[in-house]
Amino acid sequence: MTTFTPSSAAETLDALQWAVSEEAPLEIIGHGSKRGIGRPVQSEHAIDLSGLTGVTLYEPEELVLSARAGTPIAEIEALLKEHRQEFAFEPMDYGPLLGSEPGRGTVGGALAANLSGPRRLKSGAARDHILGVHAVSGRGEAFKSGGRVVKNVTGYDLSKGLAGSWGTLAVVTDLTFKVLPAAETEKSFVIRGLDDGPAAFAMAAGMGSSAEVSSAAHLPPSVTGRVLDGALKGPASTLLRLEGFGPSVEYRLKTLTGLLAAQGEIEVLEQAQSRQVWREIRDCLPYADGTSRPVWRISMAPSQGWKMVAELRLHAGADVFYDWQGGLIWARMEAEPDAEGLRALIAHFGGGHATLVRASVPVRAATQVFQPQAGALGQLAGRLKDQFDPKGILNPGRMG
């Protein structure tokens, strides 16, 4: 077992060229904070990018930041905060859910997993903020794509193509992201006591209003006690988040109150609690219970999520909460996951996809962790993989 620890893009290229010539598969690792996601990688060797660090360009007034792939997200976020800016896509931290400490994860990993957070509906995911990359393909060739400007349609957007590819197409060495001003303040509007269906309706009404709600989540009673140190314990909580300048937030809070006050008992979370609860929702902390009980991350049309869950509950023990207006479902299963059954339900309720983000190694080895793709679509994805990594040396089996 060899683990390469390159400290430059040139050394990364070198290691990849060796792997190509030897046809020696590599596991691609940053901090390993998401190593437990996907099927176990079948490789003897690894490449560890955690030495490839440093912010190489940050121009706050140009809203652009470049960093080497192994740079910790936490380090970049601290730097951005000094300039009252942020990654608007709020990359989640999988560490606590998967049983490692929080605050790890690299910027390369954020793209490879196409991370996002509760602001996904309004502000997008990593794919929506990546401007350019330098990477080494599974052919052992260093290439670049995109640039450092926001508006760019010059050539194919390979940067987006690498988003969510989990290191199976190329090893990214340098990334350039768009950054944005951070909101001056935030508050959250909470409706208590709604069942999943009425909550979906209320979230849709809030997100579709002129109040510019940036996030909408619903925590059923089984989950409310597991956020904000228990401060929301009790009835279900439907949360709508307002961010921006102070006067604007106050104004929009009134708009929401006028629109939704009749739906149930209303509470308002001030800035500190609001920031905390959205971080907890973002990182799926209600299920960061130190176990390896299976957790699904499911994406569906927001109006359909709760209907699928109601049906799922007839068949399996599932503890569930919702983000993205009901379109992102975190589900912790009581027993071994029935992937086919779940995916059939998702298809029945209009489609989407499910990823088994937490499970023990044997379960992951025996389960289609990522949503399988059938027919012409699956063949196309296979051809794309072959074009980037014809010898299958990059994270073999992980997405399979």
Partner 1 sequence: MSGPVMPAADEATLSRRAEIVADMRVIVPGEGVVEAEHAMRAFESDGLTAYRQLPLVVVLPETTAQVSRILKYCNERNIRVVPRGSGTSLSGGALPLADAVLLVMSRFNRILDIDFANRTVTAQPGVTNLGITKAVEEEGFYYAPDPSSQIACSIGGNVAENSGGVHCLKYGLTANNVLGLEMVLIDGEVIRLGGKHLDAEGYDLLGLMTGSEGLLGVVTEVTVRILQKPEAARAMLVGFPSSEQAGQCVADIIGAGIVPGGMEMMDRPAIHAAEAFVHAGYPLDVEALLIVELDGPVAEIDDLIGEVERLAAQNGATTSRISTSDSERAIFWAGRKAAFPAVGRISPDYYCMDGTIPRKELPTVLARMRELSEKYGLEVANVFHAGDGNLHPLILYDANKPGELDRAEAFGSDILRLCVEVGGVLTGEHGVGVEKRDLMPEMFSDIDLNQQIRVKCAFDPEHLLNPGKVFPQLHRCAEMGRMHISRGQVAFPDIPRF
Residues of this chain, 174-193, that bind partner 1 according to CB under 8 A? 180-182, 184
CB of 289 to partner 1, least distance (A): 25
Span interacting with partner 1, options 36-44, 96-104, 163-171, 310-318, rule CB under 8 A: 163-171
Single residue of 118, 302, 337, 396 touching partner 1 by CB under 8 A: 302
Please state, as a whole number, how many other Cβ atoms lie within 10 Å of the Cβ of residue 4.
18
Cβ atoms 326, 310 nearer than 8 A: no
Single residue of 80, 211, 318, 339 touching partner 1 by CB under 8 A: 211
Strand order in the sheet with 45-48: 3-4, 45-48, 26-29
Q: Is 209 in the site for partner 1 (CB under 8 A)?
A: yes
- 114 DSSP assignment: T
Single residue of 163, 236, 285, 345 touching partner 1 by CB under 8 A: 163
**CA-based nearest residue to 199, from 241, 238, 227, 232:** 238
CB of 267 to partner 1, least distance (A): 22
Single residue of 300, 342, 345, 359 touching partner 1 by CB under 8 A: 300
- 260 DSSP assignment: H
SS3 73: helix
Q: What gap in Å lies between CA 32 and CA 100, rounded to an integer? A: 9
Q: What gap in Å lies between CA 129 and CA 127, rounded to an integer? A: 6
Cβ nearer to partner 1, comparing 232 with 345: 345
Q: What gap in Å lies between CA 80 and CA 30, rounded to an integer? A: 21
Single residue of 50, 255, 271, 367 touching partner 1 by CB under 8 A: 255
Cβ nearer to partner 1, comparing 209 with 276: 209
Instruction: Give residues 65-104 in contact with partner 1 (rule: CB under 8 A).
Output: 84
Mask: binding to partner 1, 260-299, rule CB under 8 A, as x and -? Answer: ---------------------------------------x
Please state, as a whole number, how many other Cβ atoms lie within 10 Å of the Cβ of residue 290.
7
> What are the beta bridge partners of residue 320?
331
Instruction: Give residues 336-395 in contact with partner 1 (rule: CB under 8 A).
Output: 350-353, 355, 370-371, 373, 375-377, 380-381, 383-388, 390-391
Q: Is 210 in the site for partner 1 (CB under 8 A)?
A: yes
Q: What gap in Å lies between CA 100 and CA 88, rounded to an integer? A: 25
Instruction: Give residues 122-141 in contact with partner 1 (rule: CB under 8 A).
Output: 124-125, 127-128, 137, 139-141
Single residue of 51, 197, 208, 230 touching partner 1 by CB under 8 A: 208
Q: Is 327 in the site for partner 1 (CB under 8 A)?
A: yes
Q: What gap in Å lies between CA 361 and CA 341, rounded to an integer? A: 21
> What are the beta bridge partners of residue 119?
none
